[in-house]
């Protein structure tokens, strides 16, 4: 049975369950509620959401809308030991002797700008290089994210513009005869086709240490020539999630970056992106993006985060190893519909 769904428009503080679907929603610090529509039953795995589907993010609580799906390969080191004795089917590939990858649905989505200031995630999940020759500029498209199938809580709304985002009207149009009632414009199709190499979600890697799960997704950004050498760029999105009851705080990061050219770089520092996030039962997740460049078309990254418990003791939380692979590029470079 569907129910009226009210969205708290402030920071998430604790999970609750929807009385209609028994699925987790969230409660917030604010006492002000905004009614956004009718909550639907989430789809099972194998049934994909269509362009224009409205949703609430199960972890970060923001309102969003689906643009298009990606089929990614998820390499889960948590299940490696459980599956290594099973036969490999047509939907699974072996990575080394332990980790196997399985296809999983993710979605490119728009985030409602009203919710961006209140979520514990960077809201610039798409970045790309400037398309001028020898340009070192990095550009970001705000309010875009990649969301796994299980993190979408779908709902319907009678509003013609239920999501506030500068790209909403450029990418989507209202159509009462379709379900969901929002359809892709030709500009969205053209943007997806043109930017496919930089938008594509190909591999997702995750691993859990002492109930702290780290998920990393790398994206290739392109290549630039600098002082007669080629510099290859990637962005990587990291999500940390506390699956346990004990509160911890991220204190330090330790990265090791191997390049196909034969170099091995070690990077240490306090926190991540200038923050030392606390992961608790009330605020269990944090997500951020960063960038890396190599003077080779491929490489690998791995590392650890130093996590501190409330009693002052620390432990190293593993960052799963992931590859950095370049892709073929066209001559026009990436392009975004950000102007009028």
Section 252-263 average pLDDT: 95
Domain match, 194 and 283 both? no
User: 170, 200, 230 — which closes off a domain?
Assistant: 200
Mean model confidence pLDDT for the chain? 82
For residue 246, give the CATH number of its domain. 2.60.40.1470
- Which pLDDT score, from 0 to 100, does residue 17 have? 41
Domain match, 74 and 206 both? no
Domain match, 255 and 156 both? no
Instruction: Give 321's pLDDT tier (boundaries 50, 70, 90).
Output: very high
Helix, strand or coil, per DSSP, at residue 84: coil
Residue of 147 and 9 predicted with greater confidence? 147
- Which pLDDT score, from 0 to 100, does residue 331 have? 47
- Which pLDDT score, from 0 to 100, does residue 9 have? 39
In this model, does residue 28 exceed pLDDT 80? no
Query: Domain containing 47: what range?
Result: 43-200
Segment 30-48, tens digit of pLDDT? 445 667 889 999 998 779 9
Q: Does 126 map to a domain? A: yes
Domain count, the chain: 2
CB-side neighbour CA atoms (13 Å) of 161? 10
User: 200, 233, 251 — which closes off a domain?
Assistant: 200
Domain match, 79 and 228 both? no
Instruction: Give 295's pLDDT tier (boundaries 50, 70, 90).
Output: very high
Distance CA 24, CA 195 (A): 34
Q: Residues 156, 158, 164, CA angle at the centre, nearest 5°?
A: 85
User: DSSP letters of 247-294?
Assistant: -EEEEEEEEEEEETTS-EEEEEEESBTTB--EE-SSS-EEEEEEEEEE
Segment 1-23, tens digit of pLDDT? 445 455 543 333 334 344 444 44
Q: Does 22 map to a domain? A: no
Segment 155-203, tens digit of pLDDT? 999 899 999 999 999 999 999 888 899 999 999 999 999 888 778 888 9
Q: Does 16 map to a domain? A: no
User: 133, 167, 200 — which closes off a domain?
Assistant: 200
In this model, does residue 110 exceed pLDDT 60? yes
Domain match, 238 and 133 both? no
- Which pLDDT score, from 0 to 100, does residue 198 have? 79
Domain match, 47 and 196 both? yes
HEC profile for 31-69? Answer: CCEEEEEEECCCCCCCCCCCCCCEEEECCCCCEEEEEEE
Domain match, 94 and 223 both? no
User: DSSP letters of 114-159?
Assistant: TTGGGSSB-SB-EEEE-SSTT---EEEETTEEEEEGGGEEEEE---
Domain match, 92 and 135 both? yes
**For the chain, what percent of residues have pLDDT higher than 70?**
77
Q: Which of 50-64, 193-207, 255-269 has the lowest mean pLDDT?
A: 193-207
Instruction: Give 208's pLDDT tier (boundaries 50, 70, 90).
Output: very high
- Which pLDDT score, from 0 to 100, does residue 197 have? 79
In this model, does residue 330 exceed pLDDT 60? no
In this model, does residue 92 exceed pLDDT 50? no
Domain match, 147 and 257 both? no
The dihedral of CA 80, 215, 290, 274: what is its sign? negative
Read off the pTM. Answer: 0.82
Q: Does 23 map to a domain? A: no
The dihedral of CA 49, 51, 55, 61: what is its sign? positive
In this model, does residue 130 exceed pLDDT 80? no
Domain match, 321 and 251 both? yes
């Amino acid at each position: 049975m569907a129910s009226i769904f009210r969205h708290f428009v402030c920071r998430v503080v604790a999970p609750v369950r929807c009385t209609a679907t028994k699925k987790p929603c969230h409660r917030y610090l604010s006492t002000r509620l905004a009614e956004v529509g009718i909550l639907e039953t989430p789809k099972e795995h194998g049934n994909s959401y269509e362009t224009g589907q409205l949703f609430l993010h199960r972890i970060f609580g923001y309102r969003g809308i689906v643009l298009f799906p990606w089929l990614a390969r998820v390499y889960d080191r948590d299940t490696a030991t459980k599956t290594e004795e099973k036969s490999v089917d047509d939907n699974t590939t072996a990575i080394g002797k332990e980790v196997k990858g399985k296809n999983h649905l993710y979605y490119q989505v728009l985030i409602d700008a009203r919710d961006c200031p209140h979520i514990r995630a960077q809201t610039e999940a798409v970045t790309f290089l400037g398309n001028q020759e020898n340009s070192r500029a990095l550009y970001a498209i705000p309010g875009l994210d990649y969301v796994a199938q299980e993190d979408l809580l779908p709902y319907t709304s009678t509003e013609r513009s239920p999501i506030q985002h500068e790209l909403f009207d450029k990418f989507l149009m209202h159509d009462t005869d379709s379900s969901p009632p929002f359809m892709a414009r030709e500009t969205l199709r053209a943007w997806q086709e043109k930017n496919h190499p930089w938008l594509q979600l190909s591999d997702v890697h995750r691993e859990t240490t002492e109930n702290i799960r780290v998920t990393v997704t790398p994206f290739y950004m392109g290549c630039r020539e600098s002082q007669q050498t080629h510099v290859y760029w990637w962005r990587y999105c990291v999500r940390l999630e506390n699956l346990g009851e004990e509160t911890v705080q991220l204190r330090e990061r330790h990265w090791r970056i191997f390049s196909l050219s034969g170099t091995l770089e070690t990077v240490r520092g306090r926190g991540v992106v200038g923050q030392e996030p606390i992961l608790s039962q009330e605020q269990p997740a944090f997500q951020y993006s960063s960038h890396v460049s190599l003077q080779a078309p491929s490489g690998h990254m791995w590392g650890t985060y130093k996590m501190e418990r409330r009693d002052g003791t620390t432990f190293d939380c593993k960052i799963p190893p992931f590859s950095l692979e370049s892709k073929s590029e066209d001559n026009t470079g990436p392009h975004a519909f950000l102007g009028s």
